[in-house]
Amino acid sequence: MVHMPLSNCEVGGGVAPIPAYLEKGIVTGLGTDGYVNNFFEVMRGAFLIHKAHHQDPQVMPASAVWDIATAQGARAIGRDDLGVLAVGKKADLITIALDTPTPINERNVYDQLVLFRNPEDVSEVMVDGKLLKDSGRLLTLDEKAIKAQLREATTRFWQFR
């Protein structure tokens, strides 16, 4: 299954029982319907909504959220070749700047990634072994042209609403 916490909030769909699904071993991915396209926000939503819903700060630790966003997410869509760094898997990866006053270690790395990072912190992107973003600079796309096309398309879209 795929958990879409912010999409469900936006439409008033309620809170899925994801912690119970995970306890039962149900493979669960994390997603969005596109309404919220910042995946770091989606991860934060999954991290926070279950704590509030269950009134328990121990529910849905950041490591579980990271797992459903990566390894379990890949398995949920039938892609065993994605989601983890391992020999024989696709070389799709990002590097994230962790410039923070808080020291990063094995006990807090997932909290740092889920709670405090944003798309601006992604400095490199590699897809299928090909570098697409390096030191924060897109290598294969014209970002200004794409933004202009997107503004034009969304302007047309919202004229019909």
Q: Is the separation of the CB atoms in 4 and 37 below 8 Å? A: no
Q: Is residue 149 in a domain?
A: no
Per-residue pLDDT at 161: 65
- DSSP character string of 34-101: SSS--HHHHHHHHHHHHHHHHT-TTSS-HHHHHHHHTHHHHHHTT-TTSSS--TTS---EEEE----S
Determine the pLDDT at residue 94: 93
In a domain, 93, yes or no: yes
pLDDT tens sequence for the chain (161 residues): 999 999 988 888 899 999 999 999 999 999 998 778 899 999 999 999 999 999 999 999 999 999 999 999 999 999 988 888 888 888 788 999 888 888 889 999 999 999 999 999 999 999 988 999 999 999 999 989 999 999 999 999 999 76
CATH of the domain at 99: 3.20.20.140
112 belongs to a structural domain: yes
For residue 134, is it within any domain?
Answer: no
Whether 139 is covered by a domain: the verdict is no
- Contact of 90 with 81, CB cutoff 8 Å: yes
Q: Say if 155 falls within a structural domain.
A: no
Examine residue 135 and state whether it is found in any structural domain, yes or no: no
Give the integer Cα–Cα distance in Å for 1 and 21.
9
What 8-state DSSP symbol labels residue 3? E
Burial (CB count within 10 angstroms: exposed 0-12, middle 13-18, buried 19+), residue 52: exposed
How high is the pLDDT of residue 88?
Answer: 85
Q: What is the domain extent for residue 10?
A: 2-121
Neighbouring C-beta atoms of residue 80, cutoff 10 Å:
11
The residue among 33, 30, 103 whose CA lies nearest residue 72 is: 30
Number of domains in the chain: 1
101, part of any domain = yes
Position 68 scores a pLDDT of 97
pLDDT reported for residue 9: 86
Q: How many CA atoms lie within 13 A of 78 on its CB side?
A: 0
CB 50 within 8 A of CB 15: yes
